[in-house]
Amino acid sequence: MSQRADALQPLEAFVSGAKQNNPDNRQSAAVARQREAQHEAAAAPYLPSFTAQGVYTRNQFPATFALPGGPTLTLTPQNGLDAYLTVAVPINVGAWEQRRAARLNADAAEAMRQRTEVSVESSVVQAYHQLLGSEALLFAAKKSLEVAESNVKTVGDRKELGTASELDLQRAISDVARAQQDVATADQGVWVGRRALESLSRVTPEPATRENYVEDDLHEEAPLTTWLRPTNDDLVAVAPAVLASGAADASLAAARAAWIPTVAAQGQEHITNAGGFTGHTQVYTLQATATWRLDFALAPNVAAQTAAVTAARASEEKARRGAEDAIYQAWYQARAGIEKARAARAQVKAATLAQSLARDRYVNGIATQLEVVQAQRDFFSAAISQVQADFDLQYARAQLRLASRRVGQGEVGR
């Protein structure tokens, strides 16, 4: 799906596209629907059931019995009509626990769907900022090439005047070739970045413009304690493991309930056109059955579910610690990124001034061509550092918000 725009679309457009079209998101949503349906089906073993059955029987000869001085009773009619209406009510503790486990599994699948969305969104955010960085790098490389080509013209003019050597000219030409290689490398990064972002979101990125390069204001993030709460079970990265642990507990309870007898109550209404000796065409029966089954699988099943509970709780602890570590790392990465971005901007400012001074000094015959080339390379290196620092900082801020997202919260920046 292609969306046209005058500049690279905002991040939210790619996040929205990925939420609807990314295969991982579609798969996790389907699994969540499947688990919800399985939860509904798990109620069947302990809910009442109703059965209606109609029977038609054609007999070659009817069977009747005439009472002395009384009516004739039909024992077996030639055309027998029977209807059976049955209501069964099972009482199964294990089925109750199994449905509770199914409910928790459905909730865990929904939480996993949200976790998958966050994971895909994280990939989209990373690809988006990498693309912006590649576009900015391409812009810097093209600017560096323009400067290098302008420098060749300056050196060529000076050589004609006899104030520059052939060595100076060849150095300037070599610097142009280096700048052309930088442009080709940056252009490749842009096309690869566009493809990666489109694969994640199914939205075709438009070329970036200067409007897309918004410098970070270098504000400090809120204290770490505001991102890490005393209880973090509602973190999107933790909730699936917490719910899966609860489902394992319910499955263990269901396994233990298998030791308890099951009870089934049944009521049946029989309607027939053969009243027999009683003369009743409608007869009901009530029945209650208690079943206690003991086999060699019960104890191993309990042991297996006990081990599953232990494993689920270990996974829960791992998920909780991992989520907290991710918030911790993102917060400190953002803090360090602010300092790196500030230093990178100072470096670019100094390198820009140095490049200008080197060219002026060369024009005035004070500096050498080698100094001009070195100043240009220093500027390009500083520009790359600033691009990397700026977009690393923006990505770190986004990752901090993604890592600390709670169940039910919205997208980045919302």
The torsion angles phi and psi of 219, rounded to 5 degrees, stand at -75, 150
Q: What is the mean pLDDT of residues 69-84?
A: 82
Reported CATH class of domain 11-42+92-259+294-403: mainly alpha
What confidence score (pLDDT) does residue 1 get? 36
Give the 3-state secondary structure of residue 328. Answer: helix
Question: Do residues 206 and 7 lie in contact, with contact meaning Cβ atoms separated by under 8 Å?
Answer: yes
Higher pLDDT, 198 or 369: 198
What confidence score (pLDDT) does residue 230 get? 81
Residue type, 260: I
Q: Are strands 79-91 and 262-272 parallel, antiparallel or unpaired?
A: antiparallel
Identify the H or E element spanning 57. strand 49-58
Per-residue pLDDT band at 86 (split at 50, 70, 90): very high
Residue 289 pLDDT exceeds 70: yes
The torsion angles phi and psi of 117, rounded to 5 degrees, stand at -60, -45
Per-residue pLDDT band at 412 (split at 50, 70, 90): very low
pLDDT digits (tens, 9 = 90+) for 347-395: 999 999 998 898 888 888 787 878 888 888 898 889 889 888 998 999 9
Q: Tokens in use for 107? A: 């909730």
Q: pTM higher than 0.85 for the full model?
A: no
Per-residue pLDDT band at 6 (split at 50, 70, 90): low
Instruction: Compute the mean pLDDT over every residue in the chain, rounded to the nearest whole number.
Output: 87
Rg (CA), the chain: 39
pLDDT digits (tens, 9 = 90+) for 208-245: 887 777 788 999 999 998 998 888 888 999 999 999 99
Domain boundaries, the chain: 11-42+92-259+294-403
Q: Tokens in use for 29? A: 């949503």
Per-residue pLDDT band at 411 (split at 50, 70, 90): very low
Q: How far apart are CA 304 and CA 250, in angstroms?
A: 13
Per-residue pLDDT band at 167 (split at 50, 70, 90): confident
Residue 7 DSSP label = S
pLDDT digits (tens, 9 = 90+) for 236-287: 999 999 999 999 998 898 889 888 888 888 999 999 887 776 778 889 899 9
Residue type, 275: G
Q: How far apart are the first and last CA of the chain?
A: 25
